[in-house]
Amino acid sequence: MSIWRILKYPDPFLNKIAEQVPEGEKEIKKFVDDMFETMYSARGIGLAAPQIGMGKRVIVLDVSPVDETAKPLALINPEIIVKEGREESEEGCLSVPDLTVKIQRAQNVTVSGFTPDWKLIQVEAEGILSVALQHEIDHLNGTLIVDYLSRLKREFYRKKVKKMLARRM
């Protein structure tokens, strides 16, 4: 297994829409293992393939630090098929350091996708799992938490990141 580098905002790759994984792709199990290892090493609860520079529709989640009844979950080509209710929560992101954003999301979702063994499943989620699924699927669609900020706050954060990057040079 390998730990991959997590891309950080404002890397333009993070805004690209990921492509469907061809059904039956054999390399996907190793890739999912690498994603879990990368997510755990960064102390995250979710990771999407675009965050590590792969334009594939693959996500991994393990919300057990927040919900001890949860189990690790990997989905290939996930799609939200049902959304119910509204809820606001504060979210952070491994690709957008030092920022949390209050985001309105569906309270409950049903997501369809494939396991790494290419079994089609549906996941009904509420609470932190619902938020994490929506967050990671946003990544697959090129959307980051900064995109939920007002233009003024987004510009302030962009300037802050630019200054941090300039200091590293």
Report, as residue numbers or ranges, the catalytic residues: 136
Task: Let me know the angle formed at the C-alpha of 71 by 9 and 56, rounded to the nearest 5 degrees.
Answer: 40
Distance CA 3, CA 42 (A): 9
Residue 15 β-bridge partners? none
DSSP string covering 74-142: EEEEEEEEEEE--EEEEEEETTEEEEEEEEEE-SEEEEEEE-TT--EEEEEEEHHHHHHHHHHHHHHTT
